Amino acid sequence: MTQNYENLPKDSFERIARDTVQAEKISKPSVSFWQDAWRSLKKNKGAIVSLVLFGFIVIMALIGPILSPYEPNAQTITHANLPPKIPVVENLGIFNGEGKLGGKTVDLYEMKNVDQYYWFGTDGLGRDMFARVWKGTQVSLFIAFVAAAIDMVIGVIYGGISGYFGGRIDDVMQRIVEILTGIPNLVVVILFILIMDPGILAIIIALTITGWTGMSRVVRGQVLKYKNQEFVLAARTLGASDSRIIWKHLMPNVLGVIIINTMFTIPGAIFFEAFLSFIGLGLQAPDASLGTLINDGYKLIQYQPHILLFPAVVLSLIMIAFNLIGDGLRDALDPKMKD
């Protein structure tokens, strides 16, 4: 690189006329906020794998109980406590229907004269675990989604009104929220379950009774941040109504935070439902959720570990997937937000 640039011949350069059109030209197509978010989410391997995994679990929760030839609550006492047996896989030496009986490994299916395959085995009442696990997943997901949706609606409306109108309304509304958030979640949930008949509805109400406060705080903070910015002022100057400003100008900006928050509410709800079922405040037999199945399985952990295995694995996978998707979405939608 010792060339002497001064000695380059002048005619090797050519003057280009200034073109004002070119200067303003955007060479790449413009990327919207959501396209950009999707792009960075796609780069996050954990989130994408989780998304696929979660999709699979949802599909199984919907069609699993139908795939199984058995009803989730149908009891066949003669087929009780069978270990898992899956066609094809059984040839590999696992899930081949063999279990320990009096210290010896025997084919329990042969012993009990069972020709059918129970993919996840059966429980103590001879109910098909495959159908029960997916039915339970369905119930758990249903509770979590409904609870999260209710939290979201109440939280967004409450936080939105509180933040947008401000002043005295905000003061009163925030004092109420401060008292409500002071009550520990665990205490509220347990007290509400005690008054109501245990069941899906009771769990959903207990989860949402104070669950929305987190969302309302986040939404209020965001609305406060945006409502005094120039674009809102411009819209107001042009005569936009309150509802137009809220829906057209503020909502799109707050949406990212709402989605992130909901993504973290759902695993929380799934956990609480399973937790309540585990301590005996959840669904009542014969209805099953992942929590009640784990509770049943736990009691037989020493002799029939497979009854605990499948619901515990499904529950753990859902929780991991949701946390990873939530993390990914948070990074994609708002790189600056930390918690």
Partner 1 sequence: MARYIGKRLIYMFITLALIATFTFFLMKVLPGSPIASADKLSPEQRAVVEARYGLDQPLPVQYFNYMFGLLQGDLGISINQFKGADVTDVILSRMGPSAQIGFQGMVLGTFLGILFGMVAALRQNTWVDYTSTIVAIIGISIPSFVFASLLQYWFGLKWDLFPVALWKDGFMSSVLPSIALAMFPLATAARFIRTEMIEVLGSDYITLAKAKGASGSEIAFKHAFRNALIPLVTVLGPMAVSILTGSLVVEQIFAIPGIGEQFVKSIMVNDFSIIMGTTMFFSVFLIAIILIVDILYGVIDPRIRLSGGKN
Residues that bind partner 1 (CB under 8 A): 174, 178-179, 182-187, 190-191, 194-195, 217, 221, 267, 271, 274-275, 278-281, 294, 298, 301-302, 305, 308, 312, 315-316, 319-320, 322-324, 338
* Residue 146 beta carbon to partner 1: minimum distance, rounded to whole angstroms: 20
Shortest CB 238 distance to partner 1, Å: 32
Pick 51 or 245: Cβ nearer partner 1: 51
CA 13, distance to chain mean position in Å, is 61
Beta carbon nearer to partner 1, 124 or 221: 221
Judge contact between 40 and 332, C-beta under 8 A.
yes
Determine phi and psi for 198, rounding to 5 degrees: -60, 140
**104: which DSSP letter?**
E
101 has which bridge partners? 104
Q: Which is nearer to partner 1, 46 or 236 (CB)?
A: 46
Least distance from partner 1 to the Cβ atom of residue 110, Å: 27
Q: How far apart are CA 225 and CA 254, in angstroms?
A: 10
For the chain, the first-to-last Cα distance in angstroms comes to 51
In the complex, the smallest distance separating the C-beta of residue 187 from partner 1, rounded to whole angstroms, is 5
CB of 50 to partner 1, least distance (A): 10
25 or 336: CB nearest partner 1: 336
Enclosing H/E stretch for 169:
helix 167-182
Smaller CB distance to partner 1: residue 231 or 298?
298
Residue number, 114 or 318, with CB nearest to partner 1: 318
**Partners of 106 in the beta sheet?**
99
Largest CA distance in the chain: 99
Considering the complex, what minimum distance in angstroms separates the CB of residue 320 from partner 1? 4
Burial classification of residue 170, based on how many CB atoms lie within 10 Å of its CB (0-12 exposed, 13-18 middle, 19 or more buried):
middle
The DSSP letter of residue 128 is: B
**Looking at residue 102, what DSSP letter applies?**
T
3-state helix, strand, coil in the chain (%, to 5): 70, 5, 30
Cβ proximity to partner 1: between 245 and 329 the closer is: 329
Q: How far is the CB of 278 from partner 1 (least distance, A)?
A: 5
